[in-house]
């Protein structure tokens, strides 16, 4: 199934488009990610700081958060913990150029997946497809993903 088909199914099931919270301080990368998700029917919410991410998450909610590990006003892992506390059903991913996060098979408790930059677009769309599952027996998470950049819980 394509990402667009998964988004359509999610929208029909939930009565709204899936929401992805993008927390990325690099303006060009943030715009590219926003347009990529929007092209596939996803409502993309872009924040460039921890403070903005918390405000947007509280106001709009999210189904998937892609959080940069290094942000101008704080640590992305700490932000992920705050987002997880307020939105326990959402999928939370950390994007980092550092390979130490999630090393040795241990992820930070609030994080579902660590994505090592550069992250292939197909991998991001796979995450969105996972979020868009609507079958009652679907297990949340991304254990089905084959890419080595992902480390499931």
| Residue 25 tokens, joined | 């301080």
| Block residue for tokens 């290094």 | 70
- Given this model, what pLDDT does residue 140 score? 47
Confidence of residue 27 (pLDDT cuts 50, 70, 90): very high
Q: What is the pLDDT of residue 105?
A: 55
Model pLDDT for residues 113-126, shown as the tens digit of each residue = 888 888 899 999 88
Higher pLDDT, 52 or 151: 52
For residue 118, whether the previous peptide bond is cis, meaning omega lies within 30 degrees of 0, is yes
What does the pLDDT read at residue 100? 58
Q: Show Cβ contacts of residue 39 under 8 Å, excluding neighbours closer than 6 positions.
A: none
Q: Give me the CATH code for the 3-110 domain, please.
A: 3.40.50.2300
Over pLDDT 90: what percentage of the chain?
A: 56
């Amino acid at each position: 199934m394509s990402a667009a088909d998964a988004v359509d199914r999610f929208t029909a099931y939930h009565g709204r488009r899936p929401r992805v919270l993008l927390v990325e301080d690099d303006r060009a990368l943030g715009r590219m990610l926003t347009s990529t998700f929007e092209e596939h029917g996803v409502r993309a919410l872009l924040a460039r700081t921890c403070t903005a991410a918390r405000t947007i998450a509280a106001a709009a909610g999210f189904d998937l958060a892609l959080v940069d590990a290094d942000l101008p006003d704080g640590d992305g892992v700490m932000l992920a913990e705050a987002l997880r506390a307020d939105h326990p059903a959402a999928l939370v991913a950390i994007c980092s150029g550092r390979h130490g996060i999630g090393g040795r098979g241990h992820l930070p408790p609030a994080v579902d997946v660590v994505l090592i930059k550069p992250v292939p677009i197909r991998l991001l769309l796979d995450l969105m497809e996972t979020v868009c599952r609507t079958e009652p027996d679907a297990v949340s998470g991304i254990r089905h993903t084959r890419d080595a950049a992902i480390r499931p819980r």
